[in-house]
Chain A
C-alpha cells in the first residue's frame, strides 16, 4: 500500500519508491530507501504532510511524496 495509507504507529517496510533519480536521491540521503523500516508519527489534517520515523530519526514529507512510496506492514 502507499505510505500515505499506513496507519499511525504501525511498522512497515519500504518495498519500492516511484519517481525519478533526483527524487530517489533526495529521499535516500535522508534514509528513506527500499527495505528500510518506517513508521508514521503523525498526519496533519486536510491532506497535510506526514511525519515519519526511520532508524530513530524523524522527518516531515508531503502527502504527494508519501503516495510514491510503497510499503508493506511488518508483523
Chain B
C-alpha cells in the first residue's frame, strides 16, 4: 500500500516477476492486482492496492484500498522518500491498525538529486518497523526488502491519535531523520513548469496528443503491413483454401470459412476461421498494442495530471473535472478499463456523466481500427466526419447532463508528480497485461459472435429481422435494412459489426452514419456488464435510454445533414 504515484506498481512488478494474475492499470490503478512470490520457499500472495493518502477514503478507489487492508497479513508500505512528510501520514495510520508493517523507502536515488538526506536507520528506530531504501525502477534494494519482509512487525507502542496528533508526531520524526539542502531550479523543473502553464502548456498538449495518435497509427499500420498481413496472406490463406476445398459446400463451410464458391476475403467472409480470426488478430491487435504502449508511456512519465489540469475548466463545464480525461483516454483503448476508471471521480453525478459519455461518444481501439479500415480507403474526410460528430456530442451531451443530473461536481484536487523516466520493464509489462486482457476477453466474444451470426443466418432469422426493420432503417436513417444486423452484432463486438457493414456496399456517407450510430447506440456486452456494476441497475437504465435516444436523434440528423434528404 502507499500514496498514489510512489511507484507501488513498479515495486509490485519487481516482487512478483512474471506471475501476475489479474489485469492492472497503474497510475490509474482502481482495481487491485494479485501476484505470487516466494519467500523462503513458501508461496505467498501479494496484492497491489490502489494508491491512497489516508485510510479514510475520499473516492471509490481508496475504498478498495481500505477494504483490502482487512485481509492483509503483512503490509508493505511503499513510501516516496522525496515526500516523506506527506507519506508518513498513511504509515502512522497503518501502524495504529496493529498490522505488521515494513516500509519501502522508494525513489531513494531521487533524494540525492533533490538534496534530501534521510537517516533510514533512525527512521527505523523511531517507527519501530523495518525500513528499506529502494529504487524499484532499477531493482536496487528489492532483494533486501524481500529478505526483510519476515521482520515486518507491529508497533506496540503507537497509540491511536487524532489527525492533529499525527501531524505533530510526523513533524517530530521528520525533524530527527531528514535534512534538506537548498537546491537549484533544474531542467526538469523548467519542463514541468512549461507543460502546466497555460500559454505554453496548451500548445504542448496539442502537440503531444497529435504525436501520440500519429505514433499509434504508425506502429499499428507497420505491424499490420509488415508482420500480420504477410503471415495471413502468405502462410494462412493457402491452408484455409485447402480446407475450403476439403469441406465443400454446406453449413460447416459457411460457419467456418464463409459462403462457398466466393473468394475468401478476411474482412467479409464472416467465417470463424477467416473473419473471426483475422479481425481480432491482424486488424485490431496491432492497434491495441500500439495504443497501450503509448498510453503506458504517457502515464508513467507523469504527464496525465498536467493534462488534467489544463483541460479541467472544459471538463468542469461538462459536470466533471480534469480527471475526467482519464476514463476518456483509457476508453479509447477499450471501454472496459475506461468504465472502471470512472471510480476515481468522487460523486455519483460525475461518475454517471463520465460513464454515459464514455459509452456514447468514445469508440474503442478495436472499433477505431475497423473504422480506419472501412473509411480509410474513401479518404480522411469521412473519418474526420465521424470523429467530429462524436466530439461535438461529447461536449453537447456533457453540457446537457451537467444541467439536468442532480448532485455535486466537486473541484479538481490532484497531485502533480515530478516527471519520471518510464521504466521500460514496467511499460512492457503493463502493455502486455492489457493485451492479454484483450486476447482473453475479446477473442472468445468474436468467435462466439461469428458463430452465432452464422447460425442465425443459416436459420434465416437475421434476414427476417433485417426485412422487418428495414422501413425504419431506410426511412429514418437512409440505411439498408441489413445494417440493422450489424447493429445487433455490435452488442457482441463492435469491430465485428463494422466488418459486417463492409459487405453491404454502402456509399461512404451511409457508412459514416452507420459507423457513428454503431458507436453511440450501445456499448458492447463486456462494457455493459461493467457499467451495470459501477453505476447500479437504475442509473444504467437511465444511461441506456440516453444512449438509444441519442443514437436515433443523431442518426436522423446526420441523414438530413449529410444525405440531404
Residues of A at under 8 Å CB distance from B?
Answer: 22, 25-31, 33, 41-49, 51, 55-65
* B309 near A49: Cβ-Cβ < 8 Å: yes
CB-CB nearest in chain B for A60: B309
* B313 near A44: Cβ-Cβ < 8 Å: yes
Contact with A along B308-349 (1 / 0, CB 8 A): 111011001000011000000000000000000000000000
Assembly CA distance A50 to B381 (angstroms) = 38
A-B contact count (CB 8 A): 96
Assembly CA distance A8 to B321 (angstroms) = 23
* A42 near B412: Cβ-Cβ < 8 Å: no
Assembly CA distance A33 to B85 (angstroms) = 12
Main secondary structure, interface of B, reads helix
* B414 near A60: Cβ-Cβ < 8 Å: yes
Q: How far is the CB of B185 from chain A (nearest CB, A)?
A: 11
Answer whether A51 and B416 are a contact pair too, CB < 8 Å, given A42-B197, A44-B309.
yes
CB-CB nearest in chain B for A27: B413
Residue B415 at the chain A interface, CB threshold 8 Å: yes
* A51 near B196: Cβ-Cβ < 8 Å: yes
Residues of B at under 8 Å CB distance from A?
Answer: 53-54, 56, 58, 82-83, 85-86, 89-90, 114, 163, 167, 192-193, 196-198, 201, 305, 308-310, 312-313, 316, 321-322, 410-418
CB-CB nearest in chain A for B201: A42
Answer whether A25 and B163 are a contact pair too, CB < 8 Å, given A42-B193, A51-B196.
yes
* A48 near B312: Cβ-Cβ < 8 Å: yes
* A58 near B416: Cβ-Cβ < 8 Å: yes
Answer whether A45 and B198 are a contact pair too, CB < 8 Å, given A31-B86, A60-B322.
yes
* A49 near B54: Cβ-Cβ < 8 Å: no
* B198 near A60: Cβ-Cβ < 8 Å: no
Assembly CA distance A55 to B201 (angstroms) = 23
Q: How far is the CB of B344 from chain A (nearest CB, A)?
A: 14
* B196 near A61: Cβ-Cβ < 8 Å: no
Q: How far is the CB of B133 from chain A (nearest CB, A)?
A: 18
Q: How far is the CB of B408 from chain A (nearest CB, A)?
A: 12
* A60 near B83: Cβ-Cβ < 8 Å: no
**Which of A29, A57, A58, A60 makes the CB contact (< 8 A) with B412?**
A60
CB-CB nearest in chain A for B415: A59
Max chain B Cβ within 10 angstroms of own Cβ: one of A47, A55, A58, A64: A58
**Which of B53, B163, B411 makes the CB contact (< 8 A) with A49?**
B411
A56 contact set on B, CB distance < 8 A: 82-83, 114
**Which of A41, A55, A57, A64 makes the CB contact (< 8 A) with B411?**
A64
